[in-house]
Chain A
């Protein structure tokens, strides 16, 4: 059974930094592209970032580009999101999601999601 377990969400002040983690199990982690998707309280879903199966390619939504960094450690079956220069509008539940494919592309979708970790940016 595929399991994705996020952690690291806390309350942080504007301008602060935070690192989220996602522990994966139940599948061959380095066979898949991985994503972060977020959901602000009471709002819809927003794609944040992706990282290719080997970590060689990363992409970001404009809203986080230059502030967030996605990474992975395939030896630890773990995905990370380093979040810097946090803003109040970054407050959201952050989900780790497994891509449907090894190679990201126009047909990618998300068969498996974690339960999310809550990041609150507030003074």
Chain B
């Protein structure tokens, strides 16, 4: 049902850099709408990680960064840490009739 596609999983060793892609279409990311990212630790509510494509809320480490180009966006985690093991979701606005706000399919990040 999600209209934003993410890889199911990515993994990396501590200290490495990993990236998560979020691919949309001309009715959402490609239309110029902002992309936001959330981190969901096991058993907890999602937490805002990046807003407006590349902005970090207060308290989010600068190891997390976001970017957007065309119909896709990316979340990068540099200096991967064990505490980064979580599910990550992108979110945007969609101008089609089915839903205003859409989330990505979600990506599980595993720290090896």
Contact = CB atoms under 8 A, between A and B. Distances in A.
Contacts of B89: 44-45
Contacts of A28: none
Contacts of A112: 48
Contacts, number: 67
B93 A44 contact: no
| Overall SS of chain B's interface | loop
Contacts of A26: none
Range class of the A interface residue count: 20 to 34
Nearest to A40: B1
Interface in B78-110: 89, 91, 93, 95, 97-106
Interface residues of B, number: 28
Given A47-B100, A61-B99, A114-B45, A109 B105 contact: no
Nearest to B52: A107
A27 interface: no
A45 B98 contact: no
A112 B48 CA distance: 8
B61 interface: no
A72 interface: no
| Overall SS of chain A's interface | loop
Contact of B51 (A100, A105, A106): A100
A115 B45 contact: yes
A46 interface: yes
Contact of A116 (B2, B33, B45, B104): B45
Nearest to A95: B45
Contacts of B51: 100, 109, 111
B101 A111 contact: no
Contact of B101 (A47, A63, A95, A116): A47
B104 A44 contact: yes
A46 B45 contact: no
A113 B46 contact: yes
Given A46-B1, A62-B97, A62-B98, A110 B103 contact: no
